[in-house]
Each structure stands twice: as C-alpha cells, then as structure tokens.
Structure 1
C-alpha cells in the first residue's frame, strides 16, 4: 500500500509542479484538488469569491485541522517571467493530500479538516480562510513545509518551525527638483534616502533579540543627469523573531520618518502593508508532532525546532484564535539552493515520509 500511495503522491506533485498558479488565481489548482476529493468521496466546500477549499473526514464533535497553501511565486526563470513553485507549495499540497489518502478509510473519532488555502505568498490568504470558518471549533492545527538543506538535511524532521514576523513599508519623498548647478534651490530626495538608510541602520534594540530593517527599493531621477530629483519612491523590509519586537521596530521607524521630514524640510508619505505574524507554537501540538515523527521515522530523524527569519501567514490562525494549539512540521529533503530560488530542487522521496508523519500527527491529535 505504501508504495502505491507514494506513487500517487509523486503523481500529484508532478501535476501541481507543472501547473503553477499565483496568489488568488489558483483556479486550476482548486479544481484539481476538488476532483481528487470527489474521487475519494470526501465532502468539501468551495467559495464564489476566493480560491481554495475546505474538506472534512471523520465524525465527532472535536475538530483537528491541517493547512496546505496552494499558490506559486511570480518569478523570472531563465529570462522568462512565469509562475514557479520555488517555495514548495506543490509539495505541501501533495503531502497533505497524501495524509488524507492514508487516513480516509480509517475509523476516526474526531473530524479532520483539510484547509487548502490560497495566497500564502501575499501574506493574507489565511485571513480569507478564517473568514470562511476554516478554524471554527478547531482545537489543534498543523502545517508542514520543506526546509532548506542548511536547516534540515534529508531524513531529518522537526516538530516545529519558529517563523519570524515581517512587515513592509512603502513610501514617497516629496521634495523639489533643482538644476545640478543650483542645488540650494531644491530639496534633494536622494539626501533624504541616504539619511533614511543611515537612520534604519542605527536603530538598536536588545542584542538578545533577532531583528532587521533594510531598504529594498529606491526609485529616483530620470534621463536628465543634471536634474537633482525632488521625489523618490522607496520600500523597507522589516523583520523580527518576535511579534512584540517587530512592533517596537515599526514604532521607531515611524518616529524616525517624522524626524527626517523636519530635518530635510520635505514631505514624506508612507504606509505599512502585508504584516505577517511570527510563530506562536503550542507545546502541546509540538509534542504530538514529535511523537508522530518518532513513531514513523525513528529517533534518529527527530530534529530540534527550526528557527528562521522567514515568515508564513500560517500564524494568523493562532493570532486570530489564541486558544488554537498549532505547530508547523519541518521536513528535510536536501532542498537547495534555497526556498524562492528559481531553480530550487529537493529529494522527492521526502514527500511520502512527510505525508505519513502528518497522517500520524493528525491521528494522535
């Protein structure tokens, strides 16, 4: 049976990998999952206003949930812009469907809810699923994700991934153009950008906390090289391991931007967007996943928790429902060069192992 199931999981992966769809446009992916569920005789709900679906198996008042994200990145691959599953969401869908395959014919005393979620890469697909009732009455929620080789090599599995929190700032400097020979007549936006760069590099929080802030976009000037630009657009990527540290960092940047306005005599407009919270890992859920890893893969497979500055909107589920006990399982698959690399590859034999560990986790929960 395992060999047949493993082949099926690989077939699913190959299909999803060959047909990537970007956030909020996962129409074929949603339909493909629906077709698989129809063949299984599993009931599910789809929605008229968003992609994604929610399926359930089993009986009982208690509900255990598992989340699979579906979207691909829009990325340049060999000079061509296209959808690309370089974050491994094609693998995640396949492992979650594989867990369902292993569990669908078993006698279950609880309901198992499978949440196939859109738009994780936009950082807000989980909020849409929450609005659709994805975690209503759910006591435990699990996720699963392949990890880069430097975090987990092939054969190693972690019961938790501690993602960091992230938020982005987009802004515009509104100064005044001037001739290159008469800089005193204008307000140089590039001076403000340089000052902003220096400012964010001089923010100091506790050295015992992990955090960062860095400029990721600057657009200023035109074809005329003798014009000092008065306007510039910019963006800042802000991250911290803890949600409360991210909030402190955000407050300091807001304060600094107001100070720069006064210092340079310009107007600066900015807005924050795409907040993704850091992980709030449940010790109870983590312990259940550890037991499943030990049972399926043995003690040599169990790895310590993964700590990463990367973010995942999985953690909105616990932010919106603090009573939810949640963890995300990390699977080693010799993934390289890294997540989001256009040529990301991994050992596909890890998919069946991940599916079986996830199935065992759901049973033990």
Structure 2
C-alpha cells in the first residue's frame, strides 16, 4: 500500500468512527454535512452547500476535464436490538470515509493541476431520489467522468478483491390501499373481505411471468387490515410492494402487469384499489472507458490476482440516475470486497475495515489516471 495512504489510515479510522456513531436518515443529514464541511473549510478547496437540502460538493484543481467521485451519506431507519433508530447498515459511512480519504490524499500530495476533481457527498440514496435532486441542481452538468463505490456482501465478493463495475438492477416501491366497507362476521355476503383481496393480489403477483433469463421479482412487504374486533370483516387495507428487475425495460413490463392485476381485482370484487408508485432507482448504465480505467487502478494498487469481474446484483442504487439523466457522462462504480455479513441492510452488518484505505488508494488512482488521460 502507498506509504501516504498508510500514514492516513489512523485519520480514516477516526472519521469512520465518527460517521458510524452519528448516523442520520435520508434528507436529515445536517450534522453529517456540517462535519464533512468542517474537515475541509480551511483547506485549498471550493465547498458548495445548499439552502434547501443536505449534502455538499467539494472541488479542487481547475479546468477540464472534470472528474467526480460520489459518496452517499444517509443511514437506514431500522430496528436494532429492539429499538428503531438510524443505522449505517449499508456501508455509507465507509463510502464517505473513502471519499474523504481520497480528498485528504490529493490535498496533501502532488496532483495534476490541469483538471478538476469533484467530490459529491449526496443525501438520500436510500430514498432513491437523492441523485436526481443533485442532477437537477446541475452538479454533474460539467462532469466528464463519474465514479462511485459500494461495499459488497461476502456472497458476492470476498475481502481483498475489487471489481471495476457494479451492474445494479432497477427497484421501485409502491404503496396501495383497498377501499370497501366493513361487515359483521356473521354476514360475509354483505361486503368483500379486504384480506381476501390482499391474498389474491399476493398470489397474482407471484404468478407474473417475464423472461426468466432476466432476474426480476415483485414482493408484498406490508399488509394491514382490521382492528381489535375479531368479529368485523375488514373492508379496508393498506399494503406495500417491493418491485425489482435487472433491466429498466423489464421493470416497465413489471409495473404494467402490477397495474393490470390491481385493476382486474378491483373490477372483480367491486372495490377500489389505489396504487401509487413511489421512490425508485434505475438499473445500471455503465461505461466501458470508465470501467477500463477503474480496472487498471485496481491492478496497479492491489494486483491482478485481486481483480474480480464486474458484479451483477439485483440490488439497486440511485447512482445510475446520473448517467440516465446525463447520457454523455462516463461512469462506473467500484465494488469493494470486505467480507460484509450477514448482509447489506442487516441491523448487525459488519465488514473488514481494512478495505477502506485500500479503496482510497484505488479510487484516487482512478481519479488521477482519468485526469491525466
């Protein structure tokens, strides 16, 4: 490992510990934004914050090309040891630490003076709309190359291995309501049981058939009907759906089928079913040139034996909205092997922290290679 990166490691450990111990959920990353800003406000860099949202942009260097590194900031809201709380169980604390480490390294060592390095600390990845908010603010309008990163679960990539791209799938989340009338338990002919409608919806969703060569799924993740009186047949219910597909095209087909199923059941049972498609993330759009640069950076820093092929995963990330909304942008994500287990979003997720300085060296190498190229 680069000597300068080794010397930086104790600071990286301190940064990670602070971020891990102070998680904030989507759109509420105010203290995280302030902390990162304070790390660099007396440095030779240009810091941009926003009046209407969390997150910040830090630029060093000048001119073209503009090469960016994005780190997501938000934590999840989940139950940990019986208490609901913000929790960094997706590795965003590590992602921020890696970006901060890369920025530290560039500021404290010689870097190409022709070209701009941009560090994007983005809010609300877990909501699926943080990237879109920054696209709308124009933060990538002048960017030529964009790099991201993500810790990978042990099932995908072992510790010490890195891959030059992550081919995420698309994900959409829906909220639905079933509207009818309640009835007495002794008179089931006087209403339509919302639980029955929900169970039929569950079965029809499981029976959706699309090309089996392309991973996809629709899951009912919540369903609530009825109250404390067991002798009332509920006419109303609420539910939520998690919809995923490996390609954006298959996602469109899934959404169409889900809409058709809800309309069919509403007509069959003469009830109202309202379905609202909410937050979403798009499937990956990677760039061969950016991927080749990242691949060479991996080989240069950790050796060819530790280079893994691009990762294909059904998980999603709103990083890919940058390239969908700005097609000229050349982008890829570094996959970081760290023996992460039991899995992403598990409340007790752990990983080997030794991957952080290694990833700092790789992404910094990729940034500099891109500018020099």
TM range (shorter): over 0.9
Q: Give the match's secondary structure for 1:234.
A: strand
Alignment partner of 1:31 is 2:34:
yes
1:82 to 68, 79, 85: 85
Distance 1:80 1:237 in 2: 24
TM-score (norm 2): 0.96
Q: 2:129 aligns with which of 117, 124, 127?
A: 124
Q: Partners in 2 of 1:111 and 1:168 — Cα distance? A: 37
Residue 2 of structure 1 and its aligned partner are, at CA, apart by 2.7
Partner-residue secondary structure (3-state), 2:48: strand
**Number of the residue aligned with 1:170:** 175
Instruction: Determine whether 1:339 maps to 2:336.
Output: no
2:244 partner SS: strand
Distance 2:7 2:137 in 1: 34
Whole-Å separation in 1 of the counterparts to 2:337 and 2:43: 29
Q: How does 1:1-365 map to 2 (within 5 A)?
A: 1-104=4-107, 105-108=109-112, 109-365=114-370
Determine if contact 2:111/2:368 at 8 Å carries over to the other structure. Answer: no
Aligned residues: 365
* C-alpha displacement of 1:178: 1.4
Task: Give the alignment's TM-score, normalised by structure 1.
Answer: 0.98
**Which stretch has the larger CA shift, 200-209 or 34-43?**
34-43
Look up the SS of the partner of 2:203 in the other structure.
helix
Q: Which moved more, 1:173-182 or 1:268-277?
A: 173-182
CA apart distance, 1:59: 2.0
Matches of 1:114 and 1:343, distance apart in 2: 29
d(CA) in 1 for partners of 2:254, 2:84: 34
Query: How far apart are the structure 1 equivalents of 2:5 and 2:325?
Result: 37
Q: Secondary structure at the match of 2:201?
A: helix
Unaligned runs of 5+ in 1: none
Q: Where in structure 2 are there 5+ consecutive unaligned residues?
A: none
